[in-house]
Amino acid sequence: MKPKVYLDNCSIQRPLDSKTQIRIALESEAVLGILSLVEANKIELFSSTILEFEINRNSNQIRKEYALEVLSKAKGFVDVNPKIEKRSSEFGAFGIFALDAVHLACAEEARVDYFCTCDDDLLKRAKRIQDLKVKVVSPLDLVKEI
C-alpha cells in the first residue's frame, strides 16, 4: 500500500522559503522529494477545505499558485465537519493552535499515515496526544520513513 500523506501549509511552502539556513535547505529538498514521489504515484497526497482556505488567504500570488498546484495532485480530500471540529477542539487542550488543530483533525479523519509539518511547536505538542491516529513528522523524518 502507498503511504498516505497530509502536508500542512508550512511544509508545502517550504521549497519557496529562503535557503540561507541549512535546515530550511534540507527541508526544502525533502519536500520536493516527497512531491516527486506523489508525481510518481508512490505516495497519496491528501488535502482539505481548511488547507485550501489557508492557502487562498495568502496574499503572495506566487506562493498561492504554487500551493494550489501542489494540492491539485491530491488523491483524497476532506471537508471540515462537526466531527472534525470536535476533535480539533480536543487538540486545543494540548496547546495546538486552532488552524493547526483543524489540519490535524482532517488528517486523522482522512486516515492518512503521516501528517507532515515544519512547525517545531506543533511537532512537539502533537507528540503528547496519546490517542492521535496519525504520525506527525517533519519533512526530513517523512523522507526517512518512506
Place of cell 471540515: 80
Q: What pLDDT, on a 0 to 100 scale, did the predictor assign at position 86?
A: 97
Packing angle, helices 61-71 and 49-56, rounded to 10: 160
Q: Any idea which residue has 522529494 for its cell?
A: 33
Which pLDDT score, from 0 to 100, does residue 26 have? 98
**Residue 145: predicted pLDDT:** 93
Q: How far from the centroid of its chain's Cα atoms is residue 81's Cα? A: 18
- Cell digits of residue 103: 489540519
Residue of 85, 90, 123, 121 whose CA lies nearest to 106:
85
Residues shown for the chain: 146
Q: What gap in Å lies between CA 1 and CA 64, rounded to an integer?
A: 31
Could you tell me the pTM of the whole model? 0.96
Q: Tell which residue, 123, 124, 125, has the closest CA to residue 96.
A: 125
pLDDT at residue number 137? 98
| CATH H-level, domain 4-145: superfamily | 5'-nuclease (3.40.50.1010)
Domain boundaries, the chain: 4-145
Report how far apart the first and last C-alpha atoms of the chain are (Å, whole number).
12
- Low-confidence stretches of the chain (pLDDT beneath 70): none
pLDDT at 5: 98
Q: Answer whether 124's CB lies under 8 Å from 17's CB.
A: no
Would residue 111 be called left, alpha or beta, if left means φ above 0 and alpha means ψ between -120 and 50 degrees? left
